[in-house]
Structure 1
Amino acid sequence: MRRKKLHEKTLQSGRPAAGNKKTSAGIILLQCKGRGFGVGKAYSLLMAAFGPQGWWPVGWNKPLYRPGFYGPISENEIFEICAGAILTQNTSWKNVEKALAALHAADTTSPEKINVCPAGKLGRLVRSSGYYRQKAGRLKGFCCYILRKHPEGLKKWFSAAPRQTLRGELLSLKGIGPETADSIALYAAGKAGFVIDSYTKRISQRLGFAGELSYEDWQALFEANLPPNAGTYNEYHALLVKLGKEFCKKRKPLCNGCPLGKMCNNKK
């Protein structure tokens, strides 16, 4: 009997969220069941429509997607994902690719090299990502922290640290918020935690899923209804981004042909 692939698994409820998140997520689910929304159903429809996405793309000069690959990854790839997660704040991935290529061309692709790179030069290298002075400072701060607190390297640090410990440590660094911390924990460290971004919120709200929620409540809702599996979280987040870019756009969504059209209360 052949082994089921990740996207063929039947999605069952995952771990209860900590604290009052379970109650909050439970209330949301009760309110939305009558509207036909299902976290697992949406995932299945998106996977059937788009297939595995191969996130996070790696390759400084030309990042490549690797569908169906979930690790392990090298020290250099881990650092590249961390750098990309910081640079992609408030900008498009295309702009990040330009910044990564510039860092590669300047042979500045390690914590050691970025740490000693003059701030002005580093800012020029990542200029395409926007807010370049701020992001250069955040990158240098991240690299300085790694070298000072974790000389063993990212791979050993990430492997040894429990997810919540790692997440808390990342959140303590200037310029790293919940979305960036969860992206690093999921894609660079392989720790199961659902990433919430603007695409997730927009799509869920248009599905009649919920209104305005805190980051923690969005995350609790998804994690309470999915298996606590890093590969599943990886694919689901990437699939929502693809849907948001190709169909569920911020303005003038393309509802015809949308894989989630039958579930959507906002379809035009």
Structure 2
Amino acid sequence: MRRPQLHEEALQPGRPAPGNKAAASPRLKQIYTRILKAFGPQGWWPVTPPGKTSPVYFPGFYGRPSERTAFEICAGAILTQNTAWANAERALQALNSSGLLSPAKIAGSPLPRLEHAVRSSGYFRQKARSLKAFCRRSLREHPEGFRKWFSSAAAGSLRAELLSYKGVGPETADCILLYAAGKPGFVVDAYTRRAGERLGLGRGLSYDAWKYLFEKGLPSDVKLYNEYHALLVKLGKDFCKRTKPQCTGCPLNITCAKLI
């Protein structure tokens, strides 16, 4: 069995600076600079504008989400588990068109109706139960709403609380933390791990180890984490594919270890 390897050279200098910031790793900074120049701001997380039925991206916006969009991000983070975003997006559209895209509506909806609405996201029975449980508990424990709940909680305690919710794992919790709450927490997904391994940043690492690698080597900055994660997704979809990666034309081609 291949032993996990965290390549410390990916982090250097990477020592925490005063104010709980990390001195940016030259390697991680170089990767970010190249993919940002190649792709530009990604506008994550996609949300549905008032009067529309489909989520859209807002490049360059890093403000706090509204109450409605904060919840939509939470719902989207649950629905996109183990599936492509396009499938989760169709589920959000169905919830929206059915008048269900709110905590109160989902909490009070019969499970069969909810399952039908989110069917396109896969594992629809499990996700319907998770969504319903998330909404019922958040309404019970945080009647003040998502914006006040998120703004009043420290990042660490909020993440720990989110992880205690049914159906919320580390990646989902970090998506909510970063994109819905606007608090620093680097999101690790399949695209992050694939690109990180091929770039030689680490090998066979756990979720927490990848998260540590990026958070230790980068300043604790919401805008930076937002774009970095989104840009790695873009890289993975367009070039660093799971099979038949398109190395020619990739903005990281000349710096990549190509450990495929």
TM-score by length of 1: 0.87
In the TM superposition, 1:72-221 aligns within 5 A as 72-221=64-213
Unpaired segments ≥5 residues, structure 1:
1-23
1:38 aligns with 2:27: yes
Comparing 134-143 with 257-266, greater Cα deviation is found at 257-266
Give 2:8's aligned residue: 29
What per-residue deviation string (whole Å, max 9, x for no partner) do you get for residues 137-176 of structure 1? 0000000111110001111000000011100001001111
RMSD over aligned Cα atoms: 1.9
Give aligned pairs, total. Answer: 242
Query: Is the partner of 2:184 in helix, strand or coil?
Result: coil
Alpha-carbon distance in 1 for matches of 2:11, 2:254: 15
Give 2:108's aligned amino acid.
V
Query: Is the partner of 1:145 in helix, strand or coil?
Result: helix
1:230 aligns with 2:219: no
Alpha-carbon distance in 1 for matches of 2:247, 2:76: 31
Relative distance call for 1:200 and 1:249 in structure 2 (3 A) is: same
Alpha-carbon distance in 1 for matches of 2:259, 2:170: 30
Give 1:134's aligned amino acid.
Q
Question: Shift of the alpha carbon at 1:28?
Answer: 2.5
Unpaired segments ≥5 residues, structure 2:
13-24
Preserved contact between residue 11 and residue 213 of structure 2 (Cα < 8 Å): no
Alpha-carbon distance in 1 for matches of 2:35, 2:153: 32
Relative distance call for 1:43 and 1:109 in structure 2 (3 A) is: same
Out of 18, 36, 45, the residue aligned to residue 47 of structure 1 is 36
1:266 aligns with 2:245: no
Alpha-carbon distance in 2 for matches of 1:43, 1:241: 12
Give 1:92's aligned amino acid.
A
| Identity within the alignment, % | 56
Alpha-carbon distance in 2 for matches of 1:90, 1:183: 14
Relative distance call for 1:44 and 1:99 in structure 2 (3 A) is: same
Question: Shift of the alpha carbon at 1:86?
Answer: 0.1
Alpha-carbon distance in 2 for matches of 1:105, 1:30: 50
1:65 aligns with 2:78: no
What per-residue deviation string (whole Å, max 9, x for no partner) do you get for residues 203-240 of structure 1? 01001111111211111111111111000000000000
TM-score by length of 2: 0.89
Preserved contact between residue 255 and residue 267 of structure 1 (Cα < 8 Å): no
Relative distance call for 1:234 and 1:31 in structure 2 (3 A) is: closer
What per-residue deviation string (whole Å, max 9, x for no partner) do you get for residues 2-46 of structure 1? xxxxxxxxxxxxxxxxxxxxxx99x6323787xx98111000000
Preserved contact between residue 52 and residue 68 of structure 1 (Cα < 8 Å): yes
Alpha-carbon distance in 1 for matches of 2:190, 2:200: 16
Relative distance call for 1:71 and 1:31 in structure 2 (3 A) is: closer
Alpha-carbon distance in 2 for matches of 1:63, 1:209: 33
Give 1:201's aligned amino acid.
R
